[in-house]
Amino acid sequence: MTVIDHFKKLCTIPHCSGDTAQMLAYLSEKAQAYGYATHTDSAGNLLCTHPDAQVTLQAHYDMVCIGRAPALELYEETGWLHAKESTLGADNGMGMAMMLALMETGRAVDCLFTSDEETGLVGARALAVPLKTPVMLNLDSEEFGEITVGCAGGVDLNVTLPLARTSRERYCYEAVAEGYPGGHSGVDIDKHLPNAIKELASNLYDLGASVVSIAGGERRNAVPKRAVATVAFETEVDDAMLRPLGKQQCEIIENPLLPMLHAFAHGVRDFDAGLGIVRTSINLAEIATSETALTIKLSARSMIEADLRRIESETTAYFEAFGASVESEGFYAPWEPEQEGFVEEVRAAYEAASGETVSIGAIHAGLECGIIKKHFPQMQMASIGPTITHPHSTRERVDLESVGRVFEVVMKVLDKSAKR
């Protein structure tokens, strides 16, 4: 089977984050059928080993499911593979497919499939399988022609604000902000993508609305595509974004939600001119109200650990000033760039396979390399992958030509390692 054949088979197996048991069983069954020993741990990580392996390949086996996923309907268009009205799961399904294709041919390689990367690098954090090779090649990068040698660290913040409500007779309306493109909260955060929660809150702030309820966002690591609110006014309001619900008794939230959301600085906070990427950012990802509380989920990232601690502290102080409590979870440090040894081997293999000069840099997103490095500090690492655009959104697509070319690079890396 080709890499694309393997990928299409993977797309028939549900593997949304948190619901990956069927995929784990499939990967384990195939690896054993191909003659590889398998090792698992309590986090659901799967290591498939060959006795002569000198390189570990690594990919995560969960995907972000937005739209119709996990019911994936694939189609090709001008050299790109898409999924109809859905995330595609090329992140990181193409990496998985390459690993399966290599194991099918019996290549001397170890393959590490990690669990629930998209929900906070869960598998990598709890990794407890016996990696034995001196180097690891991660297959979760998303731009052909680039070798990633470092990544941002991150932390999730959960905000809870107790709500005070007053019953009032008001003119009520539904307000919806939708149709926004969405995108990855790391690699797309500098693309000036509108955040549906911010757009809705800012427009309602300008109208002087009172909030009854508000909800929005899809995933913590995705820029929100849709948000909806029920709002109230003392007099009737004629505005295109408002759908009238009539005059009625409603439970108005007295907390200053709209000023709080309107004033919050979502997006890029600092840029690293040397690396040519975002240094620090924060994504206002999800919001919801119950009768008694408002909850907000945010994801902060930075290439510098001290800056990550700073934005965590600043965000906590901001929401606490409005009377909220803030909890941090899932902190992981950045992966500091590596540019010697194995990276040079990957560069040589890349340029031999592509005939082009490749770039080496870092990415403003969380790769598992940094966390795995904490478990195996002597292991050298690099990350490559095919060109994937708009991951974590229904516009996700992968360049099919780049898949084949990256697979050539991987095989050359393995050929080189066999001669050590």
Lowest mean pLDDT among 50-59, 383-392, 410-419: 410-419
CA distance 175 to 91: 33
Query: What pLDDT, on a 0 to 100 scale, did the predictor assign at position 353?
Result: 87
Q: State which fold the 3-152+334-418 domain adopts.
A: Aminopeptidase (3.40.630)
Secondary structure, 3-state, 272-335: ECCCCEEEEEEEEEEEEECCCEEEEEEEEEECCHHHHHHHHHHHHHHHHCCCCEEEEEEEECCE
Position 368 confidence tier, pLDDT thresholds 50, 70, 90: very high
For the record, the structure tokens of 53 come out as 């392996």
Q: Is the pLDDT of residue 420 over 80?
A: no
Neighbours of 393 (CB within 10 A): 26
The pLDDT of residue 333 is 83
Region 116-145 average pLDDT: 94
Query: Can you give the pLDDT at residue 275?
Result: 79
Q: If we measure between CA atoms, which residue out of 351, 359, 414 comes closest to residue 56?
A: 414
pTM listed for this prediction? 0.74
Q: Is the peptide bond before 70 cis (omega within 30 degrees of 0)?
A: yes
- Residue 219's pLDDT is 87
Residue 44: band (very low, low, confident or very high) from pLDDT cuts 50, 70, 90: very high
- CA atoms of 224 and 285, how far apart (whole Å): 6
Judge whether residue 418 has pLDDT over 80: no
How long, in residues, is the chain? Answer: 420
Map out the domains of the chain as residue ranges: 3-152+334-418, 155-332
The pLDDT of residue 89 is above 90: yes
Omega cis (within 30) before 255: no
- Across residues 250-264, what is the average pLDDT? 98
* 128-151 exposure pattern, b = at least 16 Cβ within 10 A, e = fewer: ebebebbbbbbbbbbbbbbbbbbb
The model's pLDDT over 375-413, given as tens digits with 9 standing for 90+, comes to 999 999 999 999 999 888 899 999 999 999 999 999 999
Nearest alpha carbon to residue 56 among 42, 41, 29, 36: 36
Residue 184 pLDDT greater than 70, yes or no: yes
Could you read off the pLDDT of 288-317 as tens digits, one per residue?
A: 999 999 999 999 999 999 999 999 999 999
CA distance 227 to 178: 6
Strand order in the sheet with 146-151: 37-40, 46-49, 110-114, 55-60, 135-138, 380-383, 146-151, 359-363
Average pLDDT, the chain: 95
DSSP 369-390: HHHHHHHSTT-EEEE----EES
Report helix, strand or coil for 78. coil
CA atoms within 13 A on the CB side of 35: 11
Residues 57, 74: Cα–Cα separation, whole Å: 26
pLDDT in tens, 217-249: 998 989 999 999 999 999 999 999 999 999 999
DSSP class of 118: G
What pLDDT is recorded for position 221? 86
Inter-CA distances, 119 with 24, 133, 189, 294, Å:
17, 27, 18, 22
Pairing of β 380-383 and β 135-138: parallel
| pLDDT tier for residue 119 given thresholds of 50, 70 and 90 | confident
Instruction: Tell me how far apart the alpha carbons of residues 328 and 317 are, in angstroms, rounded to a whole number.
Output: 12
Give pLDDT tens digits for 309-349.
999 999 999 999 999 999 999 898 888 887 778 999 999 99
More confident residue, 405 or 187: 405
